[in-house]
Structure 1
Amino acid sequence: MRQRVFFLILTAWLLCGAFVPAAADCAAAGPVDAALPETAMKPSFPMPPLSGPEADIILRKATEAPYSGQYTNKREAGTYVCRQCGTPLYSSRDKFESGCGWPSFDDELPGAVRRQPDADGRRVEIVCANCGGHLGHVFAGEGFTAKNTRHCVNSLSMSFYPAGSPEEAQALARSAPQGCTATAIVAGGCFWGVEDAFRKMPGVCAAVSGYTGGRTPDPTYEAVCGGNTGHAEAVRVSFDPSVVSYEQILRRFFEIHDPTQLDRQGPDVGDQYRSAVFFLDAEQEAVARSLMSRLRELGYDVVTRLEPAGPFYMAEEYHQRFAERTGRGRCHMPVPRFDIPAGGGGGALRK
């Protein structure tokens, strides 16, 4: 292992040259005190002014010395955002230890990172897709993870927001498409089908599979399936309230799964498959209670839990858009329960 680490560091030095106090990158076209590029884009989200070293890296494409960054060995769950504009770039789920001396990720958040030829003619530079700020470089074929990709990123190019923090929630909300200012979080059995059903709903901008409602930080799929984390397979829905209301979102939720099944959906058994609405405020809670009361009036023995929203942990990448990619997992067929009394064909939903 030590030999591998030494080889990686030596390779980086040979590619980039010796690091100087200002940490000039091999891709830099001039000295670090050169004028800022005319193409530097204005930040979209309010962020603190860049420090001198941050500007050297983000605007002038310098590189921090290996093992000097605050995020190199960070393992906390959360989201890494662009230091210049605040756009979410990477999830802690995709971070891994490469031993190269810089934070390493094997994937980026969808559409967050742009690749372009490096000035050295050999490497591939990665920049923030929103503001164009320099992040580092991306390498393939090294075999560190199953994705066989390594984003080598400067710590000074990023800020970190812990999972479930207000800062993370605000950053993720701001990066959603314009108009998508509202969020709903629900659980109704296997998240593949729930996510797929919401993706097709007009007014929905994004649907993300994940885990929430439990006590284990940054859980894995295997841990959640073990039934000891308290988390449910859930879906976070971002939507445009001018097109679709929260009530319409929840009505669809109650119609694509069976809210009368306790801690299960069809053959999937366990509290990780529970029916639940994770409300973000009192208004959402009131809407959920009203719809549940309506279903009970129609004769449905609703067992859906109402839980205050807590940290939402994005599921592994292979779960995202699973039904769309594989054609499997579409097990949530809509049943018009609000129009059909219990016993009239709107009861238990079979998977």
Structure 2
Amino acid sequence: MLFVISLLHADGNKLQQLKLNKLTEEEQQVILFKATERPFSGKYYKFNEEGVYLCKQCNAPLYKSSDKFDAHCGWPSFDDAIPGAVKRVRDADGYRTEILCAQCGAHLGHVFLGEGFTQKDTRYCVNSLSLNFQKADAKERLKQAYFAGGCFWGVEYYLEKQKGVKNVVSGYMGGKMKNPTYRDVSRGNSGYLEVVEVTYDPQQVSYESLVKLFFEIHDPTQKEGQGPDIGSQYKSAIFVSNEKERKTVQKLIRLLESKSYDIATEVKEKKVFYKAEAYHQNYYERKRKKPYCHAYVKRF
């Protein structure tokens, strides 16, 4: 059941109308009166489907399932929110930070920083009663894959031509410094590698196909660099998001090794991806040039 409220500017002019869902008494206690549901009792605590978490009161999108993690705290936890969706305010207790739906003001829970659970070092601790869930449509669901194979310009150039790939972004992954720049990474001691983030439609191209293509557009046997680009930031690596991806990569590495390739590619756990500066994006397309240290070689 829905009902409509009007939000007003400070001067009294109508800002927008919101359709709000009718809440149960238990939901009202949390969303309107800022109570906290019992730990380990919420339906979304041990919930791992892909999709988007919505505000229970107004259906505004708040969190993506890709940002959810298990903090073993008894409530759903996220290390990031959809930009602009969540408002932070000082809690009435004077030391915690409350989180509210930015659209309707519904109480969601609290946010905590500096706990070290994930690379983003943030935990949005949310009541399940404050949330609805919208399952991702399998036909529209996009996934990300992360590859490092020397200068990201060349890796980007070849992968973005693959059917089913929607976008390729050059960036950095693997280090601990927050918001690294190209200058930081190019020194070779930051722990970061030049990485591309590939957004693809799994209905059109499989993760395994992307990994195979990656192994065929660079030299996976070269250590500490690619072509003339030498340094730890140019190492060959694949950053995996889950065990299924890890097993796929390991299977293909064993296959290449059975063909007498001495594979140097490292398999690493996905970390925070930082987008590189604008002048690195679509470099070869913008310059109308071809890669100088990447080429396609059939290996499978």
Tell me the TM-score normalized by structure 1: 0.51
Gaps of 5+ in 2: 1-7, 21-50, 59-79, 87-102, 104-110, 125-134
Cα–Cα, structure 1 residues 320 and 281, in superposed 2: closer, same or farther, change >3 Å? Answer: same
Letter in 2 for 1:185: Y
Deviates most, 320-329 or 244-253? 320-329
Pick from 232, 255, 260: which aligns with 1:299? Answer: 260
Aligned-pair distance for 1:193? 1.0
Matched, 1:275 2:254: no
Cα–Cα, structure 1 residues 165 and 186, in superposed 2: closer, same or farther, change >3 Å? Answer: farther
Q: Is the 8 A contact 1:163 1:312 kept in 2?
A: no
* SS, match of residue 337 in structure 1: coil
How big is each residue's C-alpha offset from its partner over 1:317-350, in whole Å with a ceiling of 9 and x where there is no partner?
1111111111235242211012xxxxxxxxxxxx
**Hey, what's the Cα distance between the residues in 2 that align with 1:301 and 1:272?**
20
Letter in 1 for 2:289: R
**Hey, what's the Cα distance between the residues in 2 that align with 1:291 and 1:314?**
28
Cα–Cα, structure 1 residues 49 and 286, in superposed 2: closer, same or farther, change >3 Å? Answer: closer
Aligned residues: 206
**Hey, what's the Cα distance between the residues in 2 that align with 1:45 and 1:260?**
40
Residue 276 (structure 2) aligns with: 315
Aligned-pair distance for 1:32? 3.6
| Identity %, equivalent residues | 36
Aligned-pair distance for 1:213? 1.2
Pick from 159, 164, 172: which aligns with 1:198? Answer: 159
Letter in 1 for 2:84: C
Matched, 1:259 2:220: yes
**Hey, what's the Cα distance between the residues in 2 that align with 1:252 and 1:289?**
15
Aligned-pair distance for 1:50? 9.9
Aligned-pair distance for 1:46? 4.7
Cα–Cα, structure 1 residues 301 and 45, in superposed 2: closer, same or farther, change >3 Å? Answer: closer
Q: Is the 8 A contact 1:185 1:237 kept in 2?
A: yes
Cα–Cα, structure 1 residues 163 and 49, in superposed 2: closer, same or farther, change >3 Å? Answer: farther
Aligned-pair distance for 1:163? 6.8
Matched, 1:337 2:291: no
Aligned-pair distance for 1:164? 4.5
Letter in 1 for 2:236: S
Residue 245 (structure 2) aligns with: 284
The structure whose residues are more often strand, as a share, is 2
Pick from 29, 32, 35: which aligns with 2:14? Answer: 35
**Hey, what's the Cα distance between the residues in 1 that align with 2:203 and 2:229?**
35
Tell me the TM-score normalized by structure 2: 0.59
How big is each residue's C-alpha offset from its partner over 1:81-112, in whole Å with a ceiling of 9 and x where there is no partner?
1338xxxxxxxxxxxxxxxxxxxxxxxxxxxx
**Hey, what's the Cα distance between the residues in 2 that align with 1:311 and 1:317?**
18
Matched, 1:189 2:191: no
**Hey, what's the Cα distance between the residues in 1 that align with 2:252 and 2:155?**
18
Letter in 2 for 1:337: R
Q: Is the 8 A contact 2:189 2:232 kept in 1?
A: no
**Hey, what's the Cα distance between the residues in 1 that align with 2:119 and 2:290?**
28
Matched, 1:235 2:200: no
Residues 75-90 of structure 1: matches in 2 within 5 Å? 81-83=83-85
How big is each residue's C-alpha offset from its partner over 1:263-311, in whole Å with a ceiling of 9 and x where there is no partner?
1111000010000011111110000011011111111110100111111
Cα–Cα, structure 1 residues 221 and 274, in superposed 2: closer, same or farther, change >3 Å? Answer: same
**Hey, what's the Cα distance between the residues in 2 that align with 1:167 and 1:188?**
32
* SS, match of residue 223 in structure 1: helix
Gaps of 5+ in 1: 1-22, 25-30, 52-77, 85-132, 134-158, 169-173, 339-351
* SS, match of residue 169 in structure 2: strand
Letter in 1 for 2:249: A
Residue 250 (structure 1) aligns with: 211
